Amino acid sequence: MVSLTHVSAYLLRHRHDVTYFPQMQTGLQARLQNTHLKYSAPAGTNVTVLSHSLRLRPLSALAQGDRRTKPNIDWDSLGFGLKDVAGSMYTATWTEEKGWDAGSLQPYGPIPMMPSAQVLNYGQAIFEGMKAQYTVDGRIVIFRPDKNAERFAAGAQRLSMPVVPEAQFVNAVKSVVASNADWVPPQGKGSMYLRPVLMGSGPILGLGPAPSYTFLIYAAAVGSYFKGGQLTPIDLIVEEHFHRAAPGGMGGTKAAGNYSPVLVTQLNAKKNGYSDVVYLDAKSDTYLEEVSSCNIFIVKGKTIKTPPLQGTILPGVTRRSIIELARLRGYTVEEVPVPVTEAMEADEVFTTGTAVVVSSVGSLTYQGNKKQYTQNGQPGNVSLEMYTALTDIQTGKAADPADWVVKVL
Ligand code: COI
């Protein structure tokens, strides 16, 4: 007997395509006999078994360029990119008449879209970032997927798109992980980054919501986000001309449209030797908001402060987890407006995000003044403590009392 996620992975590795039906009940067990699945339920479980719930298609029927062979990845030189993109992706479609279809796994590749697709013209799109990784005891796990599903739903509503139900979202993520298990780096070498996207893919000319939507998830094996490596402190500069978000806007949404306007400042900062940019609030140019790609925290003694969620910064899953972990470790954590001048006087600064995990900030430059927090390329003590506390839970080295870690395989 194997679980459903095992079955998906098994079939994909044996060159069959599986249409994954999220509504399948979790207690259900499936047994593989050649290319047929026999279903049975654990004793005492009341389940309805739909014989068509998993559809098999020979892989030969799929498009050329399929990459679903065992990947040849150099696990010691993983960066944050698409070099080692996973072989299969999930796509589902929403229409007014049918709502969300069940979605399916297919080879990673181009998706058809008309030039008049809403997303290409008016930008109706949100995305998520998640990671799957090996624990020290050999499980493949994901982290707090319910929180990503929740934020995805809030973002969909903000951009007038249909909500992907939590069960469909989480099951789709699990199916992508299970079917691409070969792309999950060995323990300690990195993770498999998952990118759920929801977009208005249907055509429209006048400004309005798309008539149809695509929900997709692709994945890639990745290493650390910043070039210097996970524990090397990053140098940030405070942006003094552009703002990332304004009150009443969509800064609190993981909208694709929040990430292109930051490029002009980010690229300029990189040219001048900085890793990224910190934005200030649009009203007063006084308080920290967030970095282009992550949330920000400052540390003074045993007090940690981070900007509050008032609609202009992203409600990060890592941000929330670090707040909870820091409190458990005896820090006072305040979600309050943080003046940039206070950050320049802090003992330490760090950033959090799925991609960056927890990154120690080496220096912050504001109005030409540079505040150095760390020495000799070493991360700050609190940054390192919080990084370790989080990743120990994620990798099964430490207890997971709140059930943040969800096993896939
Ligand atoms: C993440 O942290 O997962 C993100 O989506 C940020 C992105 C800029 C890489």
Residue bearing the CA closest to ligand 1, atom 5: 129
In angstroms, what is the span from residue 353 Cα to ligand 1's centroid?
A: 7
In angstroms, what is the span from residue 338 Cα to ligand 1's centroid?
A: 23
Element (H, E) at 131: strand 130-134
SS3 303: strand
The rounded distance, in Å, linking the Cα atoms of 218 and 85 is 8
Pocket of ligand 1 (CB under 6 A): 129, 293, 353-355
**Please, what's the b/e burial string for 109-128 (b: 16 or more CB within 10 A of its CB; e: otherwise)?**
beeeeeeebbbbebebbbbb
Of 127, 293, 320, the one to substitute when testing ligand 1's pocket (max ligand atoms within 8 A of C-beta) is: 293
The rounded distance, in Å, linking the Cα atoms of 34 and 26 is 23
Query: From the candidates 254, 271, 300, 371, which is the catalytic residue?
Result: 254
In angstroms, what is the span from residue 39 Cα to ligand 1's centroid?
A: 39
Phi, psi of 226 (to 5 degrees): -85, 145
Residue 259: partners with Cβ closer than 8 Å, 6 or more residues away? 292
Residue bearing the CA closest to ligand 1, atom 6: 293
Q: What angle do CA 130, 135, 139 make, to 5 degrees?
A: 90
SS3 169: helix
Query: Looking at ligand 1, which atom is closest to the CA of residue 356?
Result: 2
In angstroms, what is the span from residue 191 Cα to ligand 1's centroid?
A: 14
Q: What is the pLDDT of residue 228?
A: 87
Query: Looking at ligand 1, which atom is closest to the CA of residue 254?
Result: 5
Residue with tokens 């402060």: 305
Query: Looking at ligand 1, which atom is closest to the CA of residue 318?
Result: 2
CB 55 within 8 A of CB 19: yes
Query: Looking at ligand 1, which atom is closest to the CA of residue 80?
Result: 9
Residue bearing the CA closest to ligand 1, atom 7: 293
C-alpha distances out from residue 401 to 19, 159, 324, 328, Å: 34, 35, 12, 11
Token pair for 13: 């590795």
User: Over its length of 409 residues, how does the chain's per-residue pLDDT go in tens digits?
Assistant: 334 444 444 444 443 444 343 333 333 444 443 333 444 444 443 333 333 334 444 333 333 334 456 799 999 999 999 999 999 999 999 999 999 999 999 999 999 999 999 999 999 999 999 999 999 999 999 999 999 999 999 999 999 999 999 999 999 999 999 999 999 999 999 999 999 999 999 999 999 999 999 999 999 999 999 988 899 999 999 999 999 999 999 999 999 999 999 999 999 999 999 999 999 999 999 999 999 999 999 999 999 999 999 999 999 999 999 999 999 999 999 999 999 999 999 999 999 999 999 999 999 999 999 999 999 999 999 999 999 999 999 999 999 999 999 999 9
In angstroms, what is the span from residue 64 Cα to ligand 1's centroid?
A: 30
Query: Looking at ligand 1, which atom is closest to the CA of residue 355?
Result: 2
The rounded distance, in Å, linking the Cα atoms of 283 and 246 is 8
What is the C-alpha R_g of the chain? Answer: 22
Residue with tokens 């929740």: 150
The rounded distance, in Å, linking the Cα atoms of 210 and 207 is 9
Residue bearing the CA closest to ligand 1, atom 9: 355
Of 294, 317, 322, 351, the one to substitute when testing ligand 1's pocket (max ligand atoms within 8 A of C-beta) is: 294
Query: Looking at ligand 1, which atom is closest to the CA of residue 259?
Result: 8
In angstroms, what is the span from residue 127 Cα to ligand 1's centroid?
A: 9
Residue bearing the CA closest to ligand 1, atom 4: 129
The domains found in the chain, sorted by start residue, are 2-222 (3.30.470.10), 234-394 (3.20.10.10)
In angstroms, what is the span from residue 62 Cα to ligand 1's centroid?
A: 31
Residue 30: partners with Cβ closer than 8 Å, 6 or more residues away? 1, 2, 3, 4, 7, 37, 38, 39, 40, 54
Whether 305 is catalytic is no
CB 317 within 8 A of CB 354: yes
